[in-house]
Amino acid sequence: ALTGAYNSIVLPEPYNSANLLLLGPKVDLTFTDKLFLTTFVQYNNQIDNLNLNVRFQYRFAPVSDFYLVYTDNTWPENFRNKSRGVVAKLSYWFN
């Protein structure tokens, strides 16, 4: 899927107006009924950022998931790194 948003903000003087653009493709892969991978790349001209986000999801029981997420933020002009991170999350449904 390809998502996008464009907002033109016009404000009276002395405030600044802006044209905001947010673009990004997204890919969802389902390997089995328990393994999923979601990846998206997003460009945001407001903060001059290119973001890569990869989420691995393992559903080990009903309403119980393990997530592993990698995020990488770079400058779009030269692809120099701003920040990156790895986050793990576990959710479990007690019944």
List the one residue out of 51, 52, 49 whose CA is nearest residue 76. Answer: 49
Are 1 and 26 within 8 A, CB to CB? yes
**Encoded amino acid at 14, one letter:** P
User: Where in the chain are the domains?
Assistant: 2-91
Q: pLDDT by residue (tens digit) across 7-55?
A: 999 999 898 888 888 888 999 999 999 999 999 999 988 889 999 999 9
Q: Model confidence over 50-89: pLDDT tens digits?
A: 999 999 999 999 999 999 999 999 999 999 999 999 999 9
